[in-house]
Structures are given as structure tokens and as C-alpha cells.
Amino acid sequence: MKTNALLLSLILSLSCGKAFASTADAENFLKKSVGEVVEVAKNAPDAPALASAVRPILLKTISFDAMTRRAVGPGWRQFTDAEQKDAIGFFTTLIIRTYSAKFTPGELPDVVYKAATETAPGRVEVATTTLYKGSRYEVIYRLEQPDGKGWRVTDVVIEGVSMIANYRGQLDAQFKSGGAGAVLGSLQKSINSSK
């Protein structure tokens, strides 16, 4: 009985320890990435310069592959390899623009990190309160380990509005109206017409 209890406590402590390490790793990864973005935003002269400067940081921080697949939804399976590649490329540009548009060069957010939570194995949510331009926003970052190794951001939820859920509604409608071609066309059009 005593041995069983010891074994159980050992298993529990190991599993909890592992979960804690996961959430802590994810949180540290996010803090580092957000810190790099803020540093770039501080020095960028204007919005286009900011967008191009944050691109390399976001490419190593965000899983654009997972984001694009989920934004398109089950229709993704009907995309050819070439169409998938194009879609990921277009969506990456769009997401980087959307994210960098939240920042005004020279204005720095004050980010307070709350406790990270493991929502499922390999999935962590980091909630933050961000004070920016005099307003307080609740921003949640969703992170995963897509390849089982490093952490990547797979969604950003600002005041309850999920970036991916929002694109999902739009791209789903496009897919239903004209399949992969309509999705790619609409992404391309959006990139061309965006400021």
C-alpha cells in the first residue's frame, strides 16, 4: 500500500512537473518573442517598415501552416499541394500585416502576463493584459508544438475575438462559393487591396 502511494505520488509529481515545464517553456518563448516585436516597434520609423521588420520574428514565432489549415477548414483537404503552398504564403502575408497593424511605431504596449494554462497535451494558452494607447485589452496567445519540438503561436485572441475564427468564417464562405480557386483569389485580392 505504501509502495503504491509512493509510486502514485512519484507519477503525479513527474506528470505535473512535466506540465509545469511545458507551460513555463511556452510562456518564456512567448515573452521572448513579444519582447522582440516590441523592440522592433520601438525603432520602426513607419508602419510598412514595422511590418517588414517583424516578419522574420513572426516567421519563427507563428505556425502559419497550422493557422492557414484551420482558417480554411475541412476544405483544405481538397487543395492540391501547390494550392496549399500558395495559400500558406498569402495567409502569412495577411497575418503579418494584421498583427503588425495593431502596433503604432513608437507606441509601446505594457504587457502583463497571467498564469499560462495547458488546455490539452501540447497546447498552452497564455493570457495577458495589455495596456496600449490608454486602453486595456485582454489578449490570449494560443501555443502548440506542431512538430513536437519548439513552441509556436497558433492563434491570437484579442478581447475574445480569435484571429483564426474570424478568417475561418470568411474563407469558409469563399470555399463554399468557388473551392480552392476562390479562396486563393480572395486572399490575393485582400493582399493587393490592403493598405
Residues at the site binding other proteins, with contacts judged by CB under 8 A: 69-74, 76-77, 94, 97-98, 101-102, 129, 134, 136, 159-162, 164-171, 173-174, 186-187, 189-190, 194-195
What nine digits make up the cell of 75? 476544405
- Please, what is the minimum distance in Å from the beta carbon of residue 3 to other proteins? 32
- Judged by beta carbon, residue 22 or residue 174, the one nearer other proteins is 174
In terms of CB distance, is 62 or 71 closer to other proteins?
71
Distance CA 48, CA 73 (A): 30
Give the C-alpha separation, 17 to 3, whole Å.
21
User: What distance in Å separates the CA atoms of residue 156 and residue 130, rounded to the nearest whole number?
Assistant: 13
H or E, element range at 143 = strand 135-144
Nearer to other proteins, 32 or 176 (CB): 176
Identity of the residue, 4 or 74, whose beta carbon is nearer to other proteins in the bound complex: 74
| Least distance from other proteins to the Cβ atom of residue 20, Å | 25
**Min separation Cβ 103 and other proteins, Å:** 12
Burial per residue of 119-130, b for 16 or more beta-carbon CB atoms within 10 angstroms, e otherwise = eeeeebbbebeb
DSSP tag of 1: -
Would you call 112 helix, strand, or coil by DSSP? strand
Shortest Cβ distance from residue 166 to other proteins (Å)? 5
Q: How far is the CB of 136 from other proteins (least distance, A)?
A: 7
Nearer to other proteins, 1 or 161 (CB): 161
Query: Looking at the chain, how many residues does it have?
Result: 195
